[in-house]
C-alpha cells in the first residue's frame, strides 16, 4: 500500500470516527464523510466497501489507539508508583469533557449490534482488554487474587466512563481511583 493510500485511508477513518462519535450512526452519510475528509465519494469507495465496513474499522482503530496511549502512559510511570492506581489517573485524562463523548464501543453496540454483529465482538474485545490489562498489572505487582481484582477494577473503570458522560466531568475517574485504592488496601 502506498503512503498516499495509507494517508487517505487514515484521513477517512479519523474523519468518520469523529463524526460517528458526535452523531448517531444513521445520521452520518458517506457523502458527509467524504466531504469532511476532503475526498470524493468514489475515493471513499476505493478505500471502503461500505459505511458499515468503515464503522468496524473505526472501532478497531479506536481500540488500537487507546491501547497504544495506555501502553505509552504506563511505560512512562515512575517505577515507585502503583500502575493499578495510575490507570485511573490516565482515565481521568481520557475522560476530559472537552473531548470525551462516551465510550465508542458502548455507543456502537447500542446503535449497530443488531445490524452489524461484529460490533459486539469488537466491543467485547475492548472491554476484555481493560480487564486483562488490570489483571496482568495485579499479577505483576504480586496482588492476591489478580483475576478477581482485575474484574473488580475493570467494573469500576467502566462505571467511571459511563458516569463521566452523564456528568460531563472527569470527576468520576477521581472517585473510581479512590474506590480502587480502598480495594487494593483491603
Is residue 115 one of the residues assigned to a domain?
A: yes
41 and 65, same domain (yes or no): no
Q: What are the pLDDT digits (tens) for 79-92?
A: 999 999 999 999 99
Whole-model pTM above 0.85?
yes
63 and 117, same domain (yes or no): yes
Query: Averaged over 111-118, what is the pLDDT?
Result: 93
**Domain interval for residue 11:** 1-48
Q: How far apart are CA 140 and CA 135, in angstroms?
A: 9
Task: Please give the tally of structural domains in the chain.
Answer: 2
153 and 67, same domain (yes or no): yes
139 and 163, same domain (yes or no): yes
Is residue 141 one of the residues assigned to a domain?
A: yes
106 and 163, same domain (yes or no): yes
Q: How far apart are CA 138 and CA 105, in angstroms?
A: 25
Is residue 76 one of the residues assigned to a domain?
A: yes
What is the grid cell recorded at 174? Answer: 477521581
- Residue with grid cell 481493560, as numbered in its chain: 130
Q: How far apart are CA 57 and CA 111, in angstroms?
A: 16
Q: What are the pLDDT digits (tens) for 3-28?
A: 888 999 999 999 999 999 989 999 99
Q: Which secondary structure element, helix H or strand E, spans residue 4, and what is its range?
A: helix 3-22
Query: Averaged over 128-136, what is the pLDDT?
Result: 98
What pLDDT is attached to residue 102? 87
Is residue 181 one of the residues assigned to a domain?
A: yes
Q: How far apart are CA 177 and CA 83, in angstroms?
A: 11
From the number of C-beta atoms within 10 Å of its C-beta (0-12, 13-18, 19+), residue 142 rates as exposed
Residue 150, helix vs strand vs coil: helix
Q: Which secondary structure element, helix H or strand E, spans residue 29, and what is its range?
A: none
38: phi > 0 → left, psi -120 to 50 → alpha, else beta; which?
Answer: left
Q: How far apart are CA 28 and CA 17, in angstroms?
A: 10
129 and 174, same domain (yes or no): yes
Q: What are the pLDDT digits (tens) for 51-84?
A: 999 999 999 999 999 999 999 999 999 999 999 9
What pLDDT is attached to residue 177? 97
Amino acid at each position: 500500500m502506498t503512503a498516499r493510500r495509507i494517508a487517505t485511508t487514515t484521513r477517512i477513518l479519523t474523519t468518520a470516527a469523529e463524526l460517528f462519535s458526535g452523531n448517531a450512526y444513521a445520521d452520518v452519510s458517506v457523502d458527509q464523510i467524504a466531504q469532511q475528509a476532503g475526498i470524493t465519494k468514489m475515493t471513499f469507495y476505493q478505500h471502503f466497501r461500505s459505511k458499515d465496513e468503515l464503522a468496524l474499522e473505526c472501532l478497531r482503530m479506536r481500540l488500537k489507539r487507546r491501547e497504544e496511549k495506555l501502553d505509552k502512559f504506563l511505560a512512562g510511570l515512575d517505577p515507585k508508583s502503583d500502575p493499578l492506581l495510575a490507570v485511573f489517573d490516565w482515565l481521568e485524562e481520557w475522560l476530559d469533557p472537552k473531548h470525551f463523548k462516551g465510550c465508542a464501543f458502548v455507543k456502537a453496540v447500542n446503535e449497530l449490534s443488531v445490524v452489524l454483529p461484529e460490533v459486539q465482538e469488537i466491543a467485547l474485545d475492548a472491554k476484555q482488554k481493560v480487564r486483562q490489562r488490570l489483571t496482568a498489572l495485579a499479577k505483576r505487582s504480586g496482588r492476591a487474587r489478580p483475576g478477581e481484582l482485575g474484574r473488580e477494577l475493570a467494573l469500576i473503570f467502566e462505571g467511571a466512563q459511563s458516569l463521566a458522560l452523564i456528568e460531563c466531568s472527569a470527576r468520576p475517574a477521581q472517585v473510581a481511583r479512590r474506590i480502587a485504592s480502598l480495594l487494593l488496601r483491603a
